Structures are given as structure tokens and as C-alpha cells.
Amino acid sequence: MTAPLYLTGHLAPVTHETEGRDLPVEGALPPELNGRYLRNGPNPRPGEDPGHWFTGHGMLHGVRLQGGRALWYRNRWVRTAALDGAPFLGPEGPDLRAVTANTNVVRHCGRILALVENGLPHEVTDRLDTVGPYDFAGRLTTAMTAHPKEDPATGELHFFGYGAMPPFLTYHRAGADGTLLESREIPVGGPTMMHDFAITERHVVWLDLPVVFDPARLGRGMPYRWDDGYAARVGVMAQGGAAPVRWFEVEPGYVFHVGNAREDAAGRIVLDAVRYGREGFLRSWERIGGAGAAGSGPGAQAGDQPRLHQWTLDPRTGRVNEQPLDDRSVEFPTLNETLVGRASRYRYAVAGDGLVKYDLRTGASNGYDAGPGQAPGEAVFVPAAGAGAEDDGWLLTIVSDRAGRGSAFTVLDASDLTRVATVPLPQRVPAGFHGTWLPDEPR
């Protein structure tokens, strides 16, 4: 029997935890990069087939940088109850601790959290050891998205949880001190799979899209499918108070990852994200393990591939304008996160064997080619010391060989995407999802 795609090549899991010290450096690491780059992704245990790329146990990979040196590489499974064999669904319903914690890793108020959207975050140390599930002192009683947004001005953390049973969507807001300040239900059309969302300076932006829970698929990978009967909507909700969400119907599509959102001078909400058309979603979903969940349809059209897309929502008129920003197939859009929810000029995304940088002001773009057969991951932007421009900084990523032969930590100059340093890693790193840069905190 042929192994599924998510267990082969650069997606194939590694079989053990390891560590390497004093790693070789090709080029020169910027000496100001003092901290840890962490990347999360699915890594089933040896012999396991989780049924879908998205459902393997979480594994963290870390590279420690200091003074122009790469001090160590380390990888560790996130030790959740699921890793110990506990089932997610029990007689009393979902166990929010029995999850994979395989999607993202963030730091808020000094806590490093490994995230997955169907359960609680799991706190880990800066050496990647698992502390345990974290529920905001007992106040978080729903799952937590893997894509929380920290407001760069207030330090507040905005996030949500979605589920297969009511309440389908719950909004949460935590203060800069880590206290969970607000939790409230947001009515939506049904059990939609909401992977990401956005904030602006004064609003929260919701993505209520036609990929929904299908109980017939429980126990077989990801129990979600495309539903032509579910309306595609983008919602705008004022932060604070209890004002209802203003919903805008949009062309059917799906979004895994948002670039950013902002309010323009006319009070409109401008959102950009990577959008999949129906057939593009079906094709991608089946390739990564969802065969049978997506249904069937006519041959995919060129416009169905995942492309950077923009919606402009006008709360005064109720009108929405949407347009593709490029015709390339891309994923994992990122930005300078000091501008989350604000006007921001640049986006960085994975495109085939390389990365692409978009200038949203001029429409120009340029790219980095990692070479034939190479697969770069999401590019994390780190501002340069004393940065004077939005793109004055570095992009950090892990590039893996698609044939599974090895991986390297790579640093690019974000202004022109030239490579400044490469650190060959002592172990292959499977293609994963999201990462973060954790600068050393003042002692």
C-alpha cells in the first residue's frame, strides 16, 4: 500500500528527539538576533497514521541564537494527554487536554504556549519541555484558536474557540497581564471550521466560511467538509461592549491564514488573506488526507488556487469589494507583527520552492528561490535593531529538502530577500505549520 502524502518526503515525521550544539553557520548570523526561533508542526509517533496531515502529534523544533552563533538545535514532542493515548472524545464530551498542540507557538505575558484549535493551549519552557495544559486560571472553558492576535498597542491578546456543538464560536480577550477579561458567544450559521481571524485597532473580523463539521467523519482524520449550502460571510465586530456583528456576504471560498486587517480613512475594513476557491480547497484537502471529506466537483480552475486576496468592507453602505492581489499560488502569509491590525505595506508568503514579498502599496513583488526541490516554511519577520522602515529586519525560516534529505535554518534580509546566513540542522525537520521568534527577555 502506498503511504499517504503526509507520511512521505519532507512531510514525513522524524522518529526521535535529539539535540545538537554549536551548529555550523554558513554566512554570518546577525549578532543582534539573540533569542530562540521555535517552529511547531505535526509529527506522529513511529508507526502511527493519524489519517490527516493536520492531526499528528505536535513537535516543537528550536534554534537558539546568541551573539552571531547558533548554540543549539533541539526538538521535542508536546506532551499532551493525547500523546499518552487519551481519547479526545469521552463519555462526558471532548477532553480539551487530549489534543495534539501541533499548529503554532506564541509567547504572551511570559508564557510560551503550544497551540491547536480544538483544545487548550499547552505551556512549554524555552527549552521545549512541556509544563502542561493552560486554561487562564480556570477561566478558559472552550478550545483556543492557534492564531491569537496580540494588539501591538495594548498588549491584549484576542482569540476565540470554535466547536462542533453550540456555542459554535466564542470570543475571548486577555489583558497584557495574562488575565482572561472577556468571553462571549458569537452567533454563526453552524459548526464552521474557523482557522483564523483578524483584528484592527477597534474591530474584530470573523470568517464564517463553508467548511463545516461532518459527524459522519468522526474518527477518520479531520471531520470537516465543504458545504455548498453554507453561506460565506465576513463579520465585523466592534471591540468592547456587546454590539452585534455586522455580516457581509462574500464569494464562496475558504481561508486558512490571514495576512492582516486595518481600518482606512473612510472607516472601511480592509482585510487580506490567502483565499481558496471551492475546487482549490477540495484538491488541497484531499491531498493532505481529507479524501472523501471534500466531495467532488468539476476540474479545478486556475483561479481556485490559493492566492493573496483582499476584501474591503464598508459598514456604512453594507457593500463589499473583493479582488485577488496576485495570481501565484501562495500560503502562510506573514508581516511585521508590530503592525497587526494597522496599515502595513508588506506581506511575505511561501510560494513553491521559495518565498515572495508583496508591496501592497505599489503592487510590486520580489522573491527568494531556495532551489529546486527545496521547501521553505513560513517566514517569521524580526525587526532589526533600531529599524527605520517597516521591512528593515530579518526573515527566519526552515528550508527542507522535498526528498527528505535534510533541513537548514535560514536567515534572509527582509528588505530584498537576500540570504545572509544558513545553519544546517543535525536532523531533518518535517514540513510544519507556524513558528515564532522569542527574543531574550531582559534579566
Domain boundaries 5-189+254-313+322-439, CATH class? mainly beta
Q: What is the CA radius of gyration of the chain?
A: 21
What region, left, alpha or beta, does residue 341 occupy, with left being phi > 0 and alpha being psi -120 to 50 degrees?
left
Is residue 225 exposed (0-12), middle (13-18) or buried (19+ Cβ within 10 Å)?
Answer: buried
**Residue 416 CA: distances (Å) to CA of 25, 340, 356, 372, 374:** 21, 22, 10, 20, 20
- Work out the number of other CB atoms within 10 angstroms of the CB of residue 12: 17
Q: 52 a known binding residue?
A: no
Q: Per-residue DSSP letters for 258-292?
A: EEEEEE-TTS-EEEEEEEE-HHHHHHHHIIIIITT
Residue whose C-alpha is closest to residue 154's, from 131, 182, 135: 182
The domain segmentation of the chain, as residue ranges, is 5-189+254-313+322-439
Residue whose C-alpha is closest to residue 159's, from 178, 149, 133: 149
pLDDT at 441 (0 to 100): 83
How does DSSP classify residue 9? G
What is the reported pTM?
0.95
Contacts of 135 (CB under 8 A, 6+ apart): 120, 141
Main-chain dihedrals φ then ψ at residue 77, nearest 5 degrees: -65, 145
158 is in an annotated binding site: no
| Burial tier of 376 (Cβ tally within 10 Å: 0-12, 13-18, 19+) | buried
CB 35 within 8 A of CB 437: yes
Closest CA to 200 of 117, 289, 312, 278: 312
Phi and psi angles of residue 66, each rounded to the nearest 5 degrees, phi first: -160, 125
pLDDT of res. 294: 39
Helix (H, G, I), strand (E, B) or coil at 248: strand
Tens digit of each residue's pLDDT (9 = 90 or more) over 345-399: 999 999 999 999 999 999 999 999 999 999 999 999 999 999 999 999 999 999 9
Regions of the chain short of the pLDDT cut 70: 1, 290-303, 443
Q: Report whether 120 contacts 139 (CB < 8 A).
A: no
Say what the pLDDT of residue 1 is: 66
Residue type, 213: F
**Secondary structure percentages of the chain, helix, strand, coil, to 5:** 5, 40, 50
Is 309 marked as binding a ligand?
no
**b/e code 195-210 from CB counts within 10 Å (16+ = b):** bbbbbbbebbbbbbbb
Rounded CA separation 299/390 (Å): 41
